[in-house]
Amino acid sequence: MCTDRRVFSTLSRCAPGIWRRTQQEETSANSGWTGEGDARRRIVHYQRQYGLVDTTAAPALAMTQLYLYHSVAAPLAEIEVAWEENHAMLSEGGWKYVGAGRFELGDLRVHMIRMEQHPEDLRAGRRLPADYEVIDTVFTSLNCFPPRAVRRRPWEVLTHGVRVKDTPGKPVYADDLAQLTDFLPFQVEVDCGVSYEAGIPPLHRLHEMYHVNEIEAQPAGRTADAGVESGDTSAAGPPPRAGIRVTAPPDPTGGGAVVTSRTGSEALLRQELLHPS
């Protein structure tokens, strides 16, 4: 196994992502929007950083920093249920209450707040229905402080509105691939269907093989809420639970892979090969 740190130099860069689901007129076909009283919303914004961590055996790939922001807007009754469930799961997961909606577990920190109107909505001139509230939850690793410009990115994306779908074109199907030479140079982009037909296992198959979704203190195969589609009208889902442990099945070639996470951001991806290259 190669452990040259130069190979992993790019892993120190942050890997961000933004995900949102809104209930509004433009998404009525999928979100169940029927009028101004429907304004449910869920936003997920994450940024993580990877690097090599020294262990007793060999350097291990680890998530060295984590920032996870979750915001949900929903009717008051749904927010009440979510608020109680979130606190119950934090208590069940062993999180220590440190005051003012703040909890900690190992090197992870959580800040959860509840409000009638979100400051970013007021800034943008958006008004939630009178019976709505918002829960904002932020998970961070120790000493992880993204700048304000980074924290505001999902709200800037939300301000741009719903992404407009493109309209289908009128493709010409080639009977012979030789016809494509008339259009050189060009690049070809394909989706996952080609690799699937070629026999490459889909990602979910690897999740099943390595039991990635198995969470301690839960029945095997049960997973925590990882997000909702536009039609989901539920309030905030449960926060990630600490203590994920993933063990790969025995490798007949002599290799093995173990993923452990004692507190979340300590998630170590360790590959120990009997015959390292």
Are 32 and 24 spatial neighbours (Cβ–Cβ below 8 Å)? no
Q: Could you read off the pLDDT of 157-197 as tens digits, one per residue?
A: 999 888 877 888 888 888 888 888 888 888 877 777 777 77
Residue 38 token pair: 């429907």
Are 246 and 221 spatial neighbours (Cβ–Cβ below 8 Å)? no
Q: Could you read off the pLDDT of 109-131 as tens digits, one per residue?
A: 999 999 999 999 999 999 999 99
3-state secondary structure of 257: strand
Q: Which residue has tokens 């095997």?
A: 220
Look at residue 262 and tell me whether its pLDDT is greater than 50. Answer: no
pTM for the predicted model, two decimal places: 0.60
Instruction: Name the β-bridge partners of 80.
Output: none
Question: CA-CA-CA-CA torsion for 97, 98, 102, 107, nearest 10 degrees?
Answer: -90
Quickly state the pLDDT bin for 137 (edges 50, 70, 90). Answer: very high
Q: Could you read off the pLDDT of 67-87 as tens digits, one per residue?
A: 999 999 999 999 999 999 999
User: What whole-number distance in Å separates Cα of residue 122 and Cα of residue 127?
Assistant: 7
Quickly state the pLDDT bin for 260 (edges 50, 70, 90). Answer: very low
- H or E element: which one contains 15? strand 14-22
Please give the pLDDT value at position 176: 86
Residue 165 CB contacts under 8 Å (≥ 6 apart), including other chains: none
Residue 166 token pair: 């493109």
Please give the pLDDT value at position 54: 83
What does the mean pLDDT of the chain come to? 74
